[in-house]
Amino acid sequence: MTELCILRYNPETDGEPRFQSYEVPCREDWVVLDALNYIKENLDPTLSYRWSCHMAVCGSCGMMINQEPKLACKAFLRDYQGVIRVEPLRHFPIERDLVTVIDDFMAKLARVRPYLIPKDVKALEAGEHRQTPAELKRFKQYSMCINCMLCYAACPEYGLIPKYIGPAAIALAHRWNQDSRDAGREERQEALAAKEGAWECSFVGACSEVCPEHVDPAGAIQQVKIRSTVDWYQEHLMPWLKK
């Protein structure tokens, strides 16, 4: 048996969150999500949490497990000793129990326009956009983001500066900027090159360390900073140059 110590919060009855402990069987192949499902089915049906695929592709079950942002479906019970502390994803308001309010991230994601903005709209008869493997490589890793928000929980700057647009949003913007079919970089710069854009990052690198899909948002952010800096000096020192 293993003990899970879970941060509970009922907005209708609680003034503050409080911890509640549960004993669950420790199966060899169980992840924290299995333990949560066991609790909900057998011990306490009031426990609330988000989950869906149970295979680390949907990004729903992000939470703090022993103070580290992890996907609950990817955190094996056998890898932990002693009591396992489970809390909602840090830096987001708690809606209820392990469910967080993710409106801030959703708004920021929309702001970076994470979709194809082609130079000219291609007619269907003109055929498909063609890309070489090299062109694909430029953006592929950034497209692997599953919007799990572990990076926002890991980022101390997002914790300190709530307006910061954050790692995943910038990585996803970068994914489109790097796509050879796209011509929307200037439009995205409004959000990325703003004060609350890439500039609040101080390259802690925690985001890339906790990312379950190895997107490397920290790398994307530094590349955005460098490009934005080159843009800025070009605009201000050589305004006659077309970009």
Partner 1 sequence: MAKSNKPIVWGPFAAGGTLTAFLTPALIALTLLAGLGQVPEALSYERLHAFAAHWPVKAGLVVVIGLSLWSAAHRLRITCYDLGVRADAAVAAIVYAGALAGTGAAMLYLLRI
Partner 2 sequence: MSRRPYERPITSEWIFRHPRYLRYMVREFSCLFIGGYALLMVVGLERLSQGPAAWQGFLQALQSPASIAFHLVALAFAVYHSVTWFNLTPQAIPLPFISAAHYAGWGAVSIAVLWLAGVF
With CA atoms as reference, report the closest residue to 117 among 187, 184, 180.
184
Residue 154 burial (10 A CB sphere; 0-12, 13-18, 19+): buried
* Residues composing the chain: 243
Beta bridge partners of 8: 18
Stretch 34-93 residues interacting with partner 1 (CB under 8 A): none
CA distances from 91 to 124, 164, 208, 239 (A): 44, 12, 17, 40
Instruction: Return the number of the residue (95 or 213) whose C-beta is nearest partner 2.
Output: 95
For residues 166 and 91, is the Cβ–Cβ distance under 8 A? no
| 189 part of the interface to partner 1, by CB under 8 A | yes
Out of 226, 229, 232, 233, the residue judged to bind partner 2 by CB under 8 A? 226
Give the shortest CB-15-to-partner 2 separation in angstroms. Answer: 9
Say how far residue 35 (Cα) sits from the centre of its chain.
Answer: 24
Out of 31, 192, 206, 211, the residue judged to bind partner 2 by CB under 8 A? 206
Residue 216 binding result from partner 2, partner 1, none, given CB thresholds of 5 to 8 Å by partner type: partner 2
Out of 62, 69, 167, 197, the residue judged to bind partner 1 by CB under 8 A? 197
Residue 196 binding result from partner 2, partner 1, none, given CB thresholds of 5 to 8 Å by partner type: partner 1
- 206 vs 91: CA distance, rounded Å: 14
| 80 part of the interface to partner 2, by CB under 8 A | no
Compute φ and ψ for 63, nearest 5 degrees: -160, 170
Question: From the CB of residue 139, how many other CB atoms can be counted at a distance below 10 Å?
Answer: 19
What are 74's two structure tokens?
């990817």
Instruction: Return the number of the residue (106 or 160) whose C-beta is nearest partner 1.
Output: 160
Q: Interacting stretch for partner 1, rule CB under 8 A, among 34-42, 100-108, 147-155, 194-202?
A: 194-202
What is the contact surface with partner 1 in residues (CB under 8 A)?
156-157, 160, 189-191, 193-197, 199, 202, 225-226, 228-229, 231-233
What is the contact surface with partner 2 in residues (CB under 8 A)?
9, 11-12, 16-17, 67-68, 90-91, 93-95, 101, 156, 159-160, 202-206, 208-209, 216, 218-219, 222-223, 225-226
